[in-house]
Structure 1
Amino acid sequence: MPSRSPAPVASAKGARARHQAIKELPRSSARAAIEAPVCGTMRDYTQAAIVLRHFLKTAAVMLALLTAYATLAESAVDVRSLPKPTGYVSDLAGVVGAQDKQQLEQFCTAVEQQLGVQFALVTIDSIGDQPIRDFALDMAREWGVGIKKDNQGVLLLLAIKDRKSDIETGRGIEPYITDGFAGSTLRAMRPDLQQGEYGPALLTAAQSMAAQIAQGKGIAFTGAVPQRRARPPDRHPGIGIPGPLILMGIFLLFWLLGRGGRRGGGYRGGGGGGFIPGLILGSMLGGRRGDDGWRGGGGGGFGGDSGGGGGFGGFGGGDFGGGGASSDW
């Protein structure tokens, strides 16, 4: 039988020869021939990883943008959605005390009555990422602060959480409250605002602007609401007997007088029959009489409870051109 042992030897020699031939080729060619399948597979994986990485980055950016947009949409405040003003002071943030608010209402009433200027003093929790100048201008126009014929209105806005402030001046008030004066007024409020004293801060600004307007108009501004004439205390306070009892007393008086006249054959001046009914009637009438006829309370201020004459009757449709200033604290 022919021997088969030389075959493996020949095969091994052939493999060595091929390996030697590959080594003798240029290095780049040898690698290309040997590593081509492996490099092709790795290249595919690398390209896929790059594409996936770009996709994830793009998705992350889009998600961040959508989240930011949603947050901005939720935090943005629409002026038209806010409650309509019911006084000169709109404390939407709830940071002004009751006593401070009453004092501000009284002062703003005096400003309108004596200077013909309407003040709108507003606090709000936050306006989001909106520029406070744009927001305040929209509010001033939407509310129509000031009388339409002369556009003399001023809006002062405090955004509490944003720690921002703004003054908007109507077209007719710009000659008196310049942009520079508005800015200095806001800066003068900072000490009170930094201490959380929002009521005093608003009063400081209102007094400063009112004094400036009064000086420009040549008006002696007192800063006080005109008071109704005070009624002196009753000299005969009485007991306040109701009207029906008074009528009954009058009827009883004439009845007693009639009986007395019939008994004595005439009316005796100064007699007991006339004195006692007169005393009773005088006592009853004294309880209702005062120097002004009837007891009454003072009016004035917004809602008629601040002690002055007159009060807030609504803003009058004033227009704004963008004058004023903004600041922060």
Structure 2
Amino acid sequence: MKSAIKFLKHCLSLLIVILLLSSFSALAQDTYPSPTVYKYLNDYVGIIDNEDANKIVSLGKELEDKTGAQAVVVVMNTLNNTPIEDYSNSLFRTWGIGEKGKDNGLLILVAIDDREWRVEVGRGLEGAIPDALSSRVMTSIAKPSFKSGNYSEGILNSYSVLCDYASKEYGVTLDKSLNVTMPSEENYEDNDGFNIFIFISIIIIVFIDSIFNRGRLLRMLFWTSRGGSSPRGGGGFGGFGGGGSSGGGGFGGFGGGSSGGGGSSGSW
């Protein structure tokens, strides 16, 4: 009897240790850096030069002063294998970028060592900056600079363009805009053609599967995707509420905004 009790105590202790380790692991996954005193620019790598940094901060402040929208840049070395879509969405919510209730925030996240970027757009700006537009801005403006190692230029120029589109939603003009010219859409005809090809191919596959396989392939893919994915967004991140200080004087905090997961991602 004593040996059985001793064994149960040992198992209970082991279970407690496992639960504690799991809790610490979950806590570590949900820990994000604090915003810098510059608010609109959070360069944790030190890759953006001083002149470009000043332009980003000045432009971000003007955008917020005139519209209330908040556009934020975050530069990190690596996300340690966390999908950039999940990380950016959680970071957006944790910081509370944009005004509470209006969700007019914008986040540009660049992971240098991972060679990935993400534009996360709050619900309030999704009309002004749809997914396809943010992708085109980063692909045509930021990506060429990133490939040549000129991250500072690529981030500044793409930030200016996205701020311009955000300001148009409010009918204002940004005096500090760089007035960067977007490449014409003709440059993307090949990509559009490829997307159409993929769309038609999917329709053909679904049609053949429904006729000759009674939709088994489609059902299998559906249940596999349900079992292998986790929901994004939702609760768990309270943001900064009414806009607490980001520390050290700076430009104040964020407004408690949120993101519905809209935006675009890419690599170089």
- TM-score (norm: length of structure 1): 0.49
Percent identity at matched positions? 30
Unaligned stretches of 5+ residues in structure 2: 1-23, 178-246
Structure with larger RCO (C-alpha < 8 A, sep 6+): 2
Residues 1:191 and 1:155: Cα distance change in structure 2 (over 3 Å): same
Any idea what the Cα deviations from partners look like across 1:260-319, whole Å, max 9, x if unmatched? xxxxxxxxxxxxxxxxxxxxxxxxxxxxxxxxxxxxxxxxxx988xxxxxx722111101
Q: Which residue among 191, 212, 215 is the counterpart of 2:144?
A: 191
Q: Distance in 2 between matches of 1:177 and 1:184?
A: 11
Runs of 4+ displaced beyond 3 Å: none
Any idea what the Cα deviations from partners look like across 1:177-217, whole Å, max 9, x if unmatched? 10111111110211111122222212111111122123333
What corresponds to 2:200 in structure 1? none
Task: Write the mapping of 1:200-219 to structure 2, written as runs, cut at 5 A.
Answer: 200-219=153-172
Within the alignment, does 1:222 sit opposite 2:161 as a pair? no
1:183 and 1:325 in contact (8 A); partners too? yes
- TM-score (norm: length of structure 2): 0.59
Within the alignment, does 1:316 sit opposite 2:255 as a pair? yes
1:79 and 1:142 in contact (8 A); partners too? no
Q: Distance in 1 between matches of 2:132 and 2:98?
A: 21
Corresponding pairs, count:
172
Aligned residue type for 1:313 = G
Q: Distance in 2 between matches of 1:93 and 1:113?
A: 28
Task: Write the mapping of 1:1-329 to structure 2, written as runs, cut at 5 A.
Answer: 78=29, 80-86=31-37, 87-187=39-139, 188-223=141-176, 312-329=251-268
Aligned residue type for 2:258 = D
The DSSP-based 3-state class of the residue aligned with 1:120 is: strand
Q: Distance in 2 between matches of 1:200 and 1:326?
A: 19
The DSSP-based 3-state class of the residue aligned with 2:169 is: helix
Structure of higher CA gyration radius: 1
The DSSP-based 3-state class of the residue aligned with 1:83 is: coil
Aligned residue type for 1:168 = E
The DSSP-based 3-state class of the residue aligned with 1:327 is: strand
Unaligned stretches of 5+ residues in structure 1: 1-72, 225-301, 305-310
Q: Distance in 1 between matches of 2:102 and 2:40?
A: 18
Aligned residue type for 1:162 = D
Q: Distance in 2 between matches of 1:149 and 1:223?
A: 27
1:174 and 1:323 in contact (8 A); partners too? yes
Aligned residue type for 1:113 = D
The DSSP-based 3-state class of the residue aligned with 1:80 is: coil
Residues 1:162 and 1:217: Cα distance change in structure 2 (over 3 Å): same
Deviation (angstroms), 1:80 = 1.8
